[in-house]
């Protein structure tokens, strides 16, 4: 029987899995392989999170609320947009941001959201560093044929302003103390700006408009 990982373009090497074509830069096929080996929101938490970590993610998820205008915006997305989020179930910044993406995906059939554990594919993770460090979460926004459109993370501008104001707190806290409602609203808006920007890039792409005839 053929190895399913090999059929996905994944080759086992030591303790990590290498993706064929994950060079510099990775090919579209490599991004597709990484995306297809990633997991939906709840499956990711079940696979990688402890009971305590899952509880924190779910508690924050319950605190996120989209406005009707935000839901309408997301519901109007036309182009399929795979979003590959490099994350860690243990990471406080992920606790306080990744559930927001789940709300976006629930409001938009066009948002195809998957999560990849930071250590699962180091060859892909290496291309998603921030300031030379392997921070999380980082979202890789892809086109429907897996061409990279935008990489964004690990905190949004609103979150960085808050961190600067508090004299440079930990870059990745435990997530044990949730942010204030106002901070959640600001970070949600920051992230939605990026999702909308990518959707507009895809919608206005001459290449994709020719493919779709619109």
- For 107-146, the pLDDT digits (tens) are 999 999 999 999 999 999 999 999 999 999 999 999 999 9
- Burial zone of 130 (CB within 10 Å; 0-12 exposed, 13-18 middle, 19+ buried): middle
Tell me: the pLDDT tens digits for 182-211? 999 999 999 999 999 999 999 999 999 999
With cut-offs at 50, 70 and 90, classify the pLDDT of residue 3.
very low
pLDDT for 32: 97
For residue 142, tell me if it sits in a domain.
Answer: yes
From residue 57, give the alpha-carbon distance in Å to each of 84, 91, 96.
18, 10, 8
Nearest Cα to 36, choosing from 141, 147, 114?
114
SS percent in the chain: helix, strand, coil, step 5: 50, 15, 35
Domain count, the chain: 1
For residue 15, tell me if it sits in a domain.
Answer: no
For residue 194, tell me if it sits in a domain.
Answer: yes
- Which carries the bigger pLDDT value, residue 165 or residue 59? 59
Average pLDDT estimate for 70-79: 98
For residue 162, tell me if it sits in a domain.
Answer: yes
DSSP 180: P
**Cα–Cα distance measured from residue 192 to residue 152, given in angstroms and rounded to the nearest whole number:** 12
Mean pLDDT of the chain: 90
CATH number at residue 70: 3.40.30.10
Pick the range with the lowest mean pLDDT from 8-17, 50-59, 137-146, 164-173: 8-17
Q: Could you list the residue range(s) of the whole structural domain that residue 165 is in?
A: 38-212
pLDDT for 13: 46
pLDDT for 23: 76
Instruction: End-to-end CA distance of the chain: give it in Å, rounded.
Output: 43
- Which carries the bigger pLDDT value, residue 59 or residue 24? 59
For residue 2, tell me if it sits in a domain.
Answer: no
pLDDT for 180: 76
For residue 201, tell me if it sits in a domain.
Answer: yes
For residue 156, tell me if it sits in a domain.
Answer: yes
Return the exposure string of 116-129: e unless at least 16 CB atoms fall within 10 Å of the residue's CB, then b: bbbebbbbbbebbe
pLDDT for 163: 85
For residue 78, tell me if it sits in a domain.
Answer: yes
Tell me: the pLDDT tens digits for 78-115? 999 999 999 999 999 999 999 999 999 999 999 999 99
H or E element that contains 209: helix 206-212
Q: Are 49 and 57 in contact (CB under 8 A)?
A: yes
């Amino acid at each position: 029987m053929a190895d399913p990982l090999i059929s996905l373009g994944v080759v086992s090497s030591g303790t990590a899995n290498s993706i064929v074509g994950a060079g510099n830069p990775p090919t579209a096929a490599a991004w597709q392989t990484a995306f297809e080996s990633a997991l939906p929101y709840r499956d990711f938490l079940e696979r990688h999170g402890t009971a305590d970590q899952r509880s924190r993610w779910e508690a924050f998820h319950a605190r996120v609320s989209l406005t009707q205008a935000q839901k309408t915006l997301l519901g109007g997305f036309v182009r399929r947009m795979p979003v590959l989020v490099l994350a860690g179930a243990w990471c406080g910044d992920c606790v306080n941001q990744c559930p927001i993406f789940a709300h976006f995906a629930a409001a938009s059939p066009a948002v195809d959201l998957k999560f990849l554990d930071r250590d699962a594919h180091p060859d892909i993770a290496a291309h998603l560093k921030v300031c030379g460090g392997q921070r999380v979460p980082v979202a890789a926004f892809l086109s429907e044929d897996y061409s990279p459109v935008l990489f964004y993370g690990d905190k949004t501008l609103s979150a960085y302003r808050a961190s600067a104001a508090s004299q440079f707190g930990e870059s990745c806290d435990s997530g044990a103390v949730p942010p204030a409602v106002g901070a959640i609203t600001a970070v949600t808006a920051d992230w939605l700006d990026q999702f909308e920007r990518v959707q507009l890039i895809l919608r206005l792409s001459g290449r994709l408009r020719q493919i779709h005839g619109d």
